[in-house]
Every structure is written in structure tokens, then in C-alpha cells.
Structure 1
Amino acid sequence: MTEFATKMAESLQPIADQFKALNIPAPVTHWGHPFFMAIVIFAMGSFVAISGWRGRTVTDTEVAIKNKADHRKVAPLMTTFLALGYSGGLLSLVMQGKPLLESPHFITGSVVLTLLAINGAISLTGFGGNKPFLRNAHAYLGSAIVLLLFVHAALGLKLGLSI
């Protein structure tokens, strides 16, 4: 483990110890993070992507407005749950005594959160005053993030089966 990963594990250890004191069954510690994150990725991620694209592409104005509103409501929640899940995944590894920051799953998770922050910033600027380029960038970047989340989930399954 790198020095940074070791220091991170040491700083997370007291929190992990508090969770260990709850006597959570080993399968829950091992598979809880993947189970709940799969729900976020596949249910919320798909919903966010579909509602975002429907808001852009449907011709019925009412349907477009509803989908845009749904996208605006669920996307920040999905991002929040992914950020919380990221820290939960790190805690799960610390609780299991596994190395941090080394797997492709960790790398894709870090990239996802970075891209979500960028995409959220694009949105929060009002798309730079409603610029079509930024609206398109937001849509395509969001779609790429969802695809990356699916890869991330596959890498997480591989990691979970290997430890």
C-alpha cells in the first residue's frame, strides 16, 4: 500500500472499528456496499439518464418539462448517494483489512465522482447562460458517466469476488 493509502486507512480505522463493534455479519460488510450501490447505479443512474434525454428529445412540451424536472430532482440525489457510497466502500475495505486505492474499481469510482462534479458545475452555471454547446456537453458527459458506472459496477463485482 502506498504511504497515502496507509495514512487514509489509519484515519478511517476508528470509524471502521465503530462499525465492527456493531457485529455486522461478514456477508453484509462484504456485499452491503455493492448491493446498495448497484441500486443507485442501475435504478437511479438509468432513470437520470433516460429522463435527461427524454427532456431533450420528446416533442410533447409537458412530457419534456416533467422529465427535465425529474432529472433535476434525482441527479443530485444520485450524486450524493454515489459520494456516500464511495466513502462506504472505503470503510468496507478497511473493515475487511483490504488495501485501499489500488483497484481499477477505486480508480473508476474516483473518475466518476470527478466527472459528476464537472457535470454538476455545468448545470449549476445555467449551462453558461443556456449555451447549446454546454447543454450538449452536459448530456453527452452524463451519458458517458452512466456507461462508466456500469463498467465500475462490473469491476466492483470482480473485486468483491476476489476478496
Structure 2
Amino acid sequence: MDIRQIIQPIADQVNQLGTPEVVNHWGHPFFMSIVILAMGSFAGIAGWKARLTSDVEVEAKSRADHRKVAPLMSIFLALGYSGGLISLVVQDQPLLESPHFWTGSAVLILLAINALISYTGFFGDKVALRTTHAYVGSGILALLLIHAALGLKLGLAI
């Protein structure tokens, strides 16, 4: 059973809702751009602010903010990933062929790795792992911008 066969029953239900074509086509990019720009930039800035400040209170608040927003952003990105797949099936488009699919998949894999690094407590608060986490997180945000550009190109092509 391939991915399309798994998603098709959900796409059929979406089609039965009578959702306007513009929503089927641009809903995913609209909502994901909010997640990427608002939550992504907030999580990234809070994380780096915590790393770079010498003010103990600012560091604590920034770390707390990062810990609140980054996991929620990751959940929304995972949900948006599945929503994007559903959107493609609804529009009768190929799933695994676009670079947008592959960058989205890479983002989720990197988010999982970064979450694992964080949830281990950086293996005893090792500086090298905190640095790795920061740079992988920044790389994810950069990849998300590339992903968004590829998604815009895909959206304009279909």
C-alpha cells in the first residue's frame, strides 16, 4: 500500500466538504507560513537570545520561551506536513516528486533529531550538544525558508 492509498480516504472526505478550490490550493501554504514566520522566528530568536545574553534573568526567560514555542511549532509543522500531503491528494497531484516534499521530510527528521538532543538534557548539559542544537535549529529555519520558496513555486505550477 502506498502513501496515496492511505491518504485517499481522508482526501475523499475533504472533497465532500465542498471546500473552495482556493482553500484547497492555498490553505496549507497560508497557515504554514504563519507557523514558520511567527513561531519559527520567535523560537529561533529566543533560543539564540538565551545563548548569547549574560543577563541571568533574560537567559531564563528566553530559555522558557524557547521551550514553550519550539515543541508547539514542531507539532504544527508535523500536522501541516500531513495537511500538505492531503492537499496534494485532493488536487490529484504527485506526492513524492517535488523538492518541496523532500525538504519538508528533511525538516521533520531534523526537528526530531534536535528534539532528541534537547530532551536528553544535552547528555549532561554538554556545551558541544547545546551548540549543535542551536546550529541545527538555525539550519532548520533556513531550510524552512527554502521549503517555503519551493512550495510557492509548486503552488504556482499547479
TM-score, normalised by the number of residues in structure 2: 0.98
1:15 to 7, 10, 14: 10
Q: 1:10-159 residue pairs with structure 2 within 5 A? A: 10-159=5-154
What is the RMSD of the two structures over their aligned residues, measured on CA atoms?
0.8
Deviation at 1:116, TM superposition (A): 0.4
Shift of 1:61: 1.1
The one-letter amino acid paired with 2:127 is P
Aligned length: 158
Runs of 4+ in 1 over 4 A off after TM superposition: none
Structure 1 length-normalised TM: 0.95
Rounded Cα–Cα distance in structure 2 between residues aligned with 1:162 and 1:54: 39
Structure-2 separation of matches of 1:133 and 1:75? 20
Q: CA deviation at 1:45?
A: 0.6
- Matches of 1:142 and 1:8 in 2, distance apart? 28
Shift of residue 63, structure 1, vs aligned partner: 1.0
Q: Is the partner of 1:13 in helix, strand or coil?
A: helix
